[in-house]
Amino acid sequence: MTALNTSPVFSLHQGSLPLLISIPHLGTQIPADIAATMTPVAQRTDDCDWHLDRLYGFAKRLGASILAPTYARYVIDLNRPPDGANLYPGQDTTGLLPVDTFDKEPLYLDGHLPGEAEVARRREAYWKPYHAALAGELAALKAKHGNVLLWEAHSIRSHVPRFFAGRLPDFNFGTSNGASAVAGIADELTAMVERHGGYTAVANGRFKGGYITRQYGQPAQGVHAVQLELSQVTYMQEQMPYAYDETLAAQVQPLLEALVTAALERVEVA
What is the tens place of the pLDDT at every residue in 43-62? 999 999 999 999 999 999 99
> What tens-digit pLDDT sequence spans the chain (270 residues)?
345 556 799 999 999 999 999 999 999 999 999 999 999 999 999 999 999 999 999 999 999 999 999 999 999 999 999 988 777 776 777 889 999 999 999 999 999 999 999 999 999 999 999 999 999 999 999 999 999 999 999 999 999 999 888 999 999 999 999 999 999 999 999 999 999 999 999 999 989 999 999 999 999 999 999 999 999 999 999 999 999 999 999 999 999 999 999 999 999 877
- Domain 3-268 matching CATH 3.40.630.40: the answer reads yes
DSSP state, residue 169: P
Beta strand 3-4 with 10-13 is antiparallel
CA atoms of 78 and 250, how far apart (whole Å): 29
Position 254 scores a pLDDT of: 98
CA atoms of 147 and 150, how far apart (whole Å): 10
CA atoms of 132 and 135, how far apart (whole Å): 5
Q: What is the pTM of this model?
A: 0.94
Sequence spans of domains, the chain: 3-268
Contact 180, 217 (CB under 8 A): yes
CA atoms of 251 and 170, how far apart (whole Å): 13
| Burial (CB count <10 Å: 0-12, 13-18, 19+), residue 129 | middle
Q: What share of the chain is helix, strand, coil (3-state, %, to 5)?
A: 35, 20, 45
Query: What does 73-86 look like in DSSP terms, one character per residue?
Result: TTT--TTS-TT---
